[in-house]
């Protein structure tokens, strides 16, 4: 496989840092060449954002309008901030299956976790409120990303709860058994073609999320995560605390961090005619450095689904991403706008990323953000 420089995501609406080198998993191309950077961003968006939906409790899941289902989903958000656990889970996308080991600690110091791949190339990720460390031992690669995670510990509620009913229906399913634990199934169903649905399994005892399916309009699971074993602890053990600590890694191995992304309200870009319900949640400016150009990152959300828009100068690049691509539930749309590469990536239907991409345009002089 090729290598690519990508952005590592920390959550469905989270912002990571650039310059993380990982194995590339290719897209199925519909038209036009797709840059290696766009490939990597989309793959790791799918991979880590879906994982974060689990281990951080899924902030959006706590804000739905059907009272009984809401009570179960509220437990999901609370459980991530309350319980310490370790276990194994599988992530399935298309014909690929990844097994992961996780240690999650939530105490007075906040939430921290360590993820270790159990099949394929060895990969480790350690995250806390200060940032993320990505370790690829077989290549002796070690990367620190600072900032961007703290606002997603603990999971935050979205402000426009009353509007959820316009775009999603929430219902209780039956009961099931996951990883040997009794679970309640909650169904989250989209009301239009601009978003996917979800099936989630909530542990009856703790409220932890035990399984999550991202489903299309036919109810077919496009991506799936499921615990196969989980041990819950009221107090983290010494080994758990050691597993999630970054101190030795940062002291002994880390390279000087790249300039962090800066949150901003100022932008020379505007978005119009977005799919109903999607709004700008965050804007970030990545200063760039070395061979990487400056980049603007805009996060859109409807409160449940999240879409990332990347805008960076072409700068005489030969490779351009123009057209559409997909990988499992992740769809991507690329275009060249005003001599800038535009890339839209999200776990939403293709029509959504295309509509968002076509809504991006340079702001006229004097036009307010």
- Whether cis (ω within 30° of 0) applies to the bond prior to 154 is yes
Residues whose CB falls within 8 Å of the CB of residue 365, separated by 6 or more in sequence, listed in order: none
The residues of the chain scoring below 70 in pLDDT are: 1-67, 138-163, 248-265, 288-293, 316-318, 365-369
Tell me what pLDDT residue 345 has: 95
Q: Are strands 330-337 and 295-301 parallel, antiparallel or unpaired?
A: unpaired
DSSP 54: H
Domain boundaries, the chain: 3-252, 262-362
Dihedral, CA atoms, 346, 350, 352, 358, nearest 10 degrees?
A: 100
CATH class of 3-252: mainly beta
Tell me what pLDDT residue 356 has: 97
**Which among 208, 210, 204 is positioned nearest to 224, based on CA atoms?**
210
- Which residues lie across from 201 on neighbouring strands? 185, 211
What is the model's pTM?
A: 0.73
Tell me what pLDDT residue 46 has: 47
- Which residues lie across from 226 on neighbouring strands? 90, 211
Domain 262-362 in the same topology as domain 3-252? no
Is there a contact between 329 and 347 (Cβ–Cβ < 8 Å)?
A: yes
For the segment(s) 262-362, the CATH number from 3.40.50.720, 1.20.1440.130, 3.30.1490.20, 3.30.200.100 is 3.30.200.100
CA 149 centroid distance within chain: 11
Is there a contact between 88 and 46 (Cβ–Cβ < 8 Å)?
A: no
């Amino acid at each position: 496989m090729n290598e690519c420089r990508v952005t590592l995501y920390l959550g469905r609406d989270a912002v990571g840092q650039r310059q993380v080198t990982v194995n590339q998993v290719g897209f199925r191309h519909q038209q036009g060449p797709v840059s290696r950077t766009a490939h990597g961003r989309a793959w790791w968006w799918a991979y880590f954002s879906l994982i974060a939906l689990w281990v951080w409790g899924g902030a959006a899941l706590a804000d739905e309008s059907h009272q009984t289902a809401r009570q179960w989903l509220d437990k999901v958000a609370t459980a991530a901030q309350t319980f310490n656990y370790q276990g194994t889970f599988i992530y399935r996308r298309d014909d690929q299956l990844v097994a992961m080991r996780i240690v999650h600690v939530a105490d007075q110091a906040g939430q921290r976790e360590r993820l270790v791949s159990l099949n394929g190339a060895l990969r480790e990720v350690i995250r806390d409120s200060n940032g993320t460390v990505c370790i690829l031992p077989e290549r002796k690669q070690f990367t620190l990303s600072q900032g961007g995670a703290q606002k997603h510990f603990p999971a935050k509620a979205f402000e426009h709860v009353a509007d959820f009913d316009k775009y999603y229906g929430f219902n209780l399913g039956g009961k099931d058994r996951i990883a040997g634990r009794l679970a309640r199934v909650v169904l989250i169903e989209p009301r239009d073609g601009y978003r996917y649905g979800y099936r989630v399994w909530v542990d009856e005892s703790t409220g932890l999320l035990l399984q999550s399916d991202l489903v299309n309009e036919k109810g077919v699971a496009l991506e799936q995560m499921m615990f196969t074993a989980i041990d819950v602890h009221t107090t983290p053990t010494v080994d758990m605390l050691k597993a999630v600590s970054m101190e030795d890694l940062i002291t002994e191995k880390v390279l000087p961090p790249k300039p962090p992304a800066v949150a901003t309200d100022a932008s020379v870009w505007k978005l119009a005619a977005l799919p109903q319900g999607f709004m700008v949640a965050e804007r970030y400016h990545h200063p760039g450095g070395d061979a990487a150009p400056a980049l603007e990152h805009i996060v859109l959300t409807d409160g449940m689904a999240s879409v990332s828009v990347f805008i960076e100068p072409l700068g005489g690049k030969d490779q351009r991403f123009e057209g559409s691509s997909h990988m499992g539930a992740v769809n991507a749309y690329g275009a060249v706008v005003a001599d800038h590469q535009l890339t839209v990536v999200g776990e939403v239907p293709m029509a959504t990323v295309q509509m968002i991409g076509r809504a991006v345009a340079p702001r006229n002089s004097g036009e307010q953000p």
